[in-house]
Amino acid sequence: MISLAGRDILQAWGKFVFTGVGLGLLIGVTLSMAGIYRGMIDDAKVLLDNSSADLWVVQKDTLGPYAEPSSIYQDTWRGIRGMPGVARTANVTYLTMQVRQGERDVRAMIAGITAGEPGTPGWPPYLVAGRQITRSHYEAVADIASGFELGDRLQIRRNHYTVVGLTRRMVSSGGDPMIFIPLKDAQEAQFLKDNDAILQSRRRTEANPAFNKPGSPDLLGAVIDSQTTNTYVNAVLVQIEDGYSHDDVAESIRRWKRLTVYTRAQMEEILVGKLIATSAKQIGMFLVILSMVSAAIVAFIIYTLTLGKIREIAVLKLIGTRNRTIAGMILQQAIALGVIGFVVGKIVATLFMAPIFPKYVLLEPLDSIFGFIAVVLICVLSSVIAIYAALKVDPAEAIG
Amino acid sequence: MSEKGIRIGGLSKRYGKGDTAVDALKHVDMHVAPGEVVGLTGPSGSGKSTLLKCLGAVISPTAGRMTLGDQVIFDDGWKVKDLRALRRDKIGYVFQAPYLIPFLDVTDNVALLPMLRGVPNGEARAKALELLTALDVQHRARAMPSKLSGGEQQRVAIARGLVNQPPVILADEPTAALDSPRAMAVIKILNEMAHKFQTAIIVVTHDEKIIPTFKRIYHIRDGVTHEETGEGRGFE
Ligand SMILES: Nc1ncnc2c1ncn2[C@@H]1O[C@H](COP(=O)(O)OP(=O)(O)O)[C@@H](O)[C@H]1O
Ligand SMILES: [Mg+2]
């Protein structure tokens, strides 16, 4: 027996290829959407991995520092440092903002990292170029996704920074490239008011007789100092000594310091389950819509192709072709269309979408396999109407 | 009595029910022996197609009996189980429009029928080529149907009707689209094939050119047949 479906496709290959390419573009977008979701999860994991922290200590009852604002006193780390099982601690601040360089500005997540040696929690674990920050002010390490280069001068708030090192794949969970600067600078940037605001605040403080007592001239200076310096950080990153249970250390910090502490697993849960959840739902919706559009296209094309063959189908039935053979012919064509579409879609996603998309697109082989199965299933379901129409054809139609 | 060929007796077909019912066939009797080519004529709407559909096991008659060789096909509302297999194995069809499968080449259009019966591809194609040669279209064996002339298409369609060597061939206006010499050639082929394979052939036609070639003609009017014995000029 010969393949009726195959012969028909060979005869009308133009129609199949064009439809397949159109379907392929849709499938390419669908695969890319899945890749964007995977990329977001991967970004979140990389963010957590690269912070080289085992625990995140944040303001009590917050989901900080990534999903919610968190603010804890900058000296909190000292108390945590002394607790059993704690190897290292480091303050960290994060703020997302526009970073200016000359004419252009880039949205970035600024990470304020404590002075120390490489390996300190919060530090970028490896650089692709340049060196780590060595001075306590006005140096920056930027991710290459920001477009900055070594030696570039960036402006964050009022201060200028020189890029001394470059990282790769260091992005926030929102996909913004990270820029590391010294903690003190970051604290200042986070709480910095503009000049007028500082002057006004100073004037109000001076006018307050409680602060400006004639007998104690130092008081006013101290109050103004405390108003303009930021003594808070967003989180304390903790590394745990080998041999200690992360959960146990987290629990004792919770109990003794009355702070909220997250382990790596909990932090991942927060990022993936809460921060990315809305985007994931949007992507899920798009996947559903794209699947339905693809199904409609396949159904329409296969139905049209089948209607164009009603006479031949009547003849095939008259000469004794089984319904199964005729249904198989239509089904195989639908699947062939799906396979062409999938191959085109995979190529589009891999070669065109992923490289140019402004977000990290992670195309997982397993997603491709699921995608392929879904495409085939959709094609099978879409051919049902056409098969129904073909089976209804009366062989008597072949005789006048 | 051992029956040969195709025989119908008291065959009736009613379309629809109640007031709108149409009696397309009324107690039709007919017999075509193996090796015989008979004509079937009648005005439009007289029931030719309906009769052909019953003979072709495409629709079931309302009443009456039809036998093919020793096998009973229809008997007063009863019918054999698998009409599809019967059509595949026992009946060949040749239509006015050849209705070739456009995506199969000439050889495979013919070879498809034995293939549907499970004959291996190579064997089926060899058989097809043999018939195409007999019908003098072997030079177009690898062409697609759309590239053939009307006469060539009709000959391929005849090859398709004959390839399984069915005991019965039904031809519906097989010469309507052909000029006189080609029409006569087709009738000649049908007669030769009937003789060679002992096939019972029924040809529905309006074609004045070929009517005189039939030894026997069934004339149908308002669902009733009258047998006429013509002065067949003979092609044996
Ligand atoms: N499927 C059908 N349903 C109802 N009436 C039909 C159907 N097919 C044919 N008829 C009627 O049966 C009669 C015979 O039709 P048909 O067999 O097609 O005649 P012919 O082929 O000789 O023109 C006509 O009156 C026609 O209207
Ligand atoms: Mg008719």
pLDDT-based confidence at A107, cuts 50/70/90? Answer: very high
Q: Which ligand has an atom closest to residue B220 CA? A: 1
Would you state the pLDDT for residue B234?
42
**Non-local CB neighbours of B182 within 8 Å, separated by 6+ positions:** B151, B154, B175
Residue-averaged pLDDT of chain A = 89
Query: Residue B128: inside a domain, yes or no?
Result: yes
Q: What is the per-residue pLDDT for B3?
A: 65
Query: Residue B232 has what pLDDT?
Result: 45
d(CA A346, CA A354): 11
In this complex, the residue of B113, B144, B172 whose CB is nearest that of residue A400 is B172
Q: Which atom of ligand 1 is nearest to the CA of B48?
A: 22
Q: Is residue B235 part of a domain?
A: no
CA of A391 to the centre of ligand 1 (A): 23
For residues A79 and A164, state if they share a domain. Answer: yes
B58/A399 CB distance under 8 A: yes
Residue A272 lies in a domain: no
The arithmetic mean of pLDDT across residues A180-199, rounded, is 83
Say if ligand 1 is within 6 A of residue B20 CB.
no
B61 touches B12 (CB < 8 A): yes
Residue A226 lies in a domain: no
The Cα of A8 is separated from the nearest Cα of chain B by a number of Å equal to 5
Instruction: Give A264-310 pLDDT, tens digit per residue.
Output: 999 999 988 888 888 888 988 998 898 888 888 888 888 998 998 89
Is position B234 within any domain?
A: no
> For position B1, what pLDDT does the model report?
44
Question: Does residue A144 surpass a pLDDT of 60?
Answer: yes
Q: Whose CA is nearest to atom 23 of ligand 1?
A: B45
Contact criterion met (CB < 8 Å) for B87 and A319: yes
Distances (CA, A) of B218 to B31, B159, B230: 10, 25, 10
Closest chain A residue to B169 measured between Cα atoms?
A319
* pLDDT value, residue A174: 79
Asked whether the beta carbons of residue B85 and residue A320 sit closer than 8 angstroms, the reply is yes
| B225 within domain boundaries | yes
> Predicted ipTM?
0.87
- A242-268 pLDDT, tens per residue? 999 999 999 999 998 889 999 999 999
Closest-CA residue, ligand 1 atom 12, reads B24
Cβ contacts of residue A82 below 8 Å, gap of 6+? none
Q: Do B84 and A320 touch (CB under 8 A)?
A: yes
Query: Is the pLDDT reported for residue A91 higher than 90?
Result: yes
Which backbone phi and psi does B16 adopt, to 5 degrees? Answer: 75, -175
Q: Which chain A residues have a beta carbon less than 8 Å from that of B56?
A: 318, 399
For A91, the token pair is 């303050």
Task: Establish whether residue B45 lines the binding site of ligand 1, counting it when its CB lies within 6 angstroms of any ligand atom.
Answer: yes
β-pairing verdict for B71-75 and B78-79: antiparallel
| pLDDT, mean of residues A112-123 | 86
Please list every residue in chain A whose beta carbon sits closer than 8 Å to the beta carbon of residue B53: 396, 399
pLDDT in tens, A334-373: 999 999 999 999 999 999 988 888 888 888 899 899 999 9
pLDDT band at A316 (very low <50, low <70, confident <90, very high): very high
Q: What is the pLDDT of residues A150-176, one digit of tens each?
A: 999 999 888 899 999 999 989 888 788
Supply the range of the domain harboring residue A110: 60-192+234-258
A300 in a structural domain: yes
A242 and A115 in a single domain? The answer is yes
For residue B144, being part of any structural domain is answered with yes
Mean pLDDT of A28-49: 89
Number of domains in chain B: 1
Contact A312 B113 (CB under 8 A): no
Q: In a structure prediction context, what are the per-residue pLDDT tens digits for chain B, which is 236 residues long?
A: 446 889 999 999 999 988 889 999 999 999 999 999 999 999 988 999 899 999 999 999 999 999 998 899 999 989 999 999 999 999 999 877 778 999 999 999 999 999 999 999 999 999 999 989 988 889 999 999 999 988 888 889 989 998 988 999 999 888 877 788 878 888 888 898 899 889 999 999 888 888 888 989 999 988 888 887 765 444 43
Helices A277-307 and A323-347, interaxial angle, to 10°? Answer: 140
In this prediction, residue A182 carries a pLDDT of 94
**Of the ligands numbered here, which is closest to the C-alpha atom of B48?**
1
More confident residue, A230 or B69: B69
Beta bridge partners of B39: B203, B217
Q: What pLDDT score does A359 carry?
A: 81
Structural domain including B187 reads 6-229
Q: Flag whether A220 is in a domain.
A: no
Q: For the purposes of burial, counting CB atoms within 10 Å of the CB of B210, is it exposed (0-12), middle (13-18) or buried (19 or more)?
A: buried
Domain presence at residue A212: no
Contact indicator for A338, A379 with CB cutoff of 8 Å: yes
Q: What was the pLDDT predicted at B18?
A: 87
Instruction: Give percent above pLDDT 90 in chain A.
Output: 45
| Residue A132 sits in the same domain as residue A14 | no
Q: For A171, which DSSP code?
A: B
Is B77 touching ligand 1 by the criterion CB < 6 Å?
no
- For position B148, what pLDDT does the model report? 92
Mean pLDDT of A375-394: 92
Q: Is the CB of B24 under 6 A from ligand 1?
A: yes
Look up residue A314 and give its amino acid: A
CATH number of the domain to which B147 belongs: 3.40.50.300
Residue A51 counted as domain residue: no
| A301 occurs within a structural domain | yes
Residue A190 neighbours by CB under 8 Å, 6+ apart: A93, A95, A112, A230
Domain assignment present for residue A126? The answer is yes
Which residue is closest in CA terms to ligand 1's atom 14? Answer: B47
pLDDT number for residue B230: 60
Ligand in closest contact with the CA of B46: 1
Phi, psi of A90 (to 5 degrees): -155, 140
Count of domains in chain A?
A: 2
Instruction: State residue B145's pLDDT score.
Output: 92
Between CA A391 and CA B64 the distance in angstroms is 28
Q: Is the CB of B16 under 6 A from ligand 1?
A: yes
> B93 to chain A: nearest residue by CA?
A319
Q: Of A92, A76, A44, A93, which Cα lies nearest the Cα of A256?
A: A76
Which numbered atom of ligand 1 lies nearest the CA of B50?
17
Ligand 1 mutation target, pool B50, B51, B55, B172, most atoms within 8 A of CB: B50
Q: Are residues A163 and A112 in the same domain?
A: yes
Query: Can you say whether residue A334 is alpha, beta or left, with left for phi > 0 and alpha for psi between -120 and 50 degrees?
Result: alpha
How close is the Cα of B158 to the center of ligand 2, in Å? 19
